[in-house]
Amino acid sequence: MFKKWHKYSYAAQKEGRYRIRWMLAWFLSIFFLYVFFTTCLFSMRVLENETMQPGLRVGDRFVFFSHLIYRFLPETLGRDRAFHLRRGNIVLVDTALRENRGILSNVLDASVRFFTAQQYSLADREEHFFIKRILGLPGDEITMTNFVIRIRAAGSSYSFTEFELSDKPYDVTIPQIPALWDESLPFSGNMERIVLGEDECFVLSDDRGNTNDSRTWGPVPLDLIAGRALFRYWPFTRLGRP
């Protein structure tokens, strides 16, 4: 009887259509907010390897503030991305940015990830993402002794260790290297002096036994810094700024 009443009741049908429109409006609002935030402002990434031990661990999840937005800002509003970076920041390096994908491609990719609960993407780009610590900024002079970086900032007469210039303390893993190891290799823990260009930075793994960073890549263009970590949201026991 209720179904028949609902079928022939104009008020009930009108209310049903209103509920459908309301649900559709909420869904579209969530969808567009997600696409906007993940394309222009924020992204969430998982650390999937042990390169940042001991401070960061496999499975840690971070919210990154996207530096891609600076491409759309006038210089008077702080388009210079180096200004927004600090030595010691955890950053997201995206080597796929060399492809210079357009905003439409990013929106379509975000849409696919939204409707597949992050399971699929238009391109398998996970191998292009690296979570590292930024230690050198444009103009810095960088050297390494026993896996510890020394930095002479642009315009400074003195050099300091990476720990003295970082605005947040952190630990690193120093590997044991045989005494006769060839010092021309990054694994030796020593590095000759380099000076960063005006659009370059130097990123490093906290586990200094892993050289998948600027020791083997060389200085990283600022255009490849996709964002900096704002906070770690998982696990809850270590919630906070990384």
Q: What pLDDT digit, counting tens, does each position of 41-69 carry?
A: 888 888 989 999 999 999 999 988 887 76
pLDDT of residue 140: 96
Of the ranges 11-25, 56-70, 159-173, 179-193, the best mean pLDDT one: 159-173
What's domain 45-105+125-236's architecture? Ribbon (2.10)
**CA separation for the pair 170, 165 (Å, rounded):** 12
204 pLDDT tier (thresholds 50, 70, 90): very high
- The answer to whether the beta carbons of residues 134 and 91 sit under 8 Å apart is yes
- The answer to whether the beta carbons of residues 173 and 208 sit under 8 Å apart is yes
Q: Which of 228, 222, 229 is nearest to 79 (CA)?
A: 222
pLDDT of residue 182: 67
What are the angstrom distances between the C-alpha of 188 and each of 8, 76, 81, 104?
82, 44, 32, 45
The side-by-side arrangement of strands in the sheet containing 225-234 is 42-46, 61-66, 225-234, 90-94, 129-136, 200-204, 220-221
Q: What is the pTM of this model?
A: 0.78
pLDDT of residue 144: 94
Q: Measure the N-to-C terminal CA separation of the chain; round to a whole number of Å.
A: 61
pLDDT of residue 125: 53
**CA separation for the pair 184, 69 (Å, rounded):** 39
**CA separation for the pair 103, 118 (Å, rounded):** 19
Map out the domains of the chain as residue ranges.
45-105+125-236
More confident residue, 235 or 6: 235
- The answer to whether the beta carbons of residues 198 and 138 sit under 8 Å apart is yes
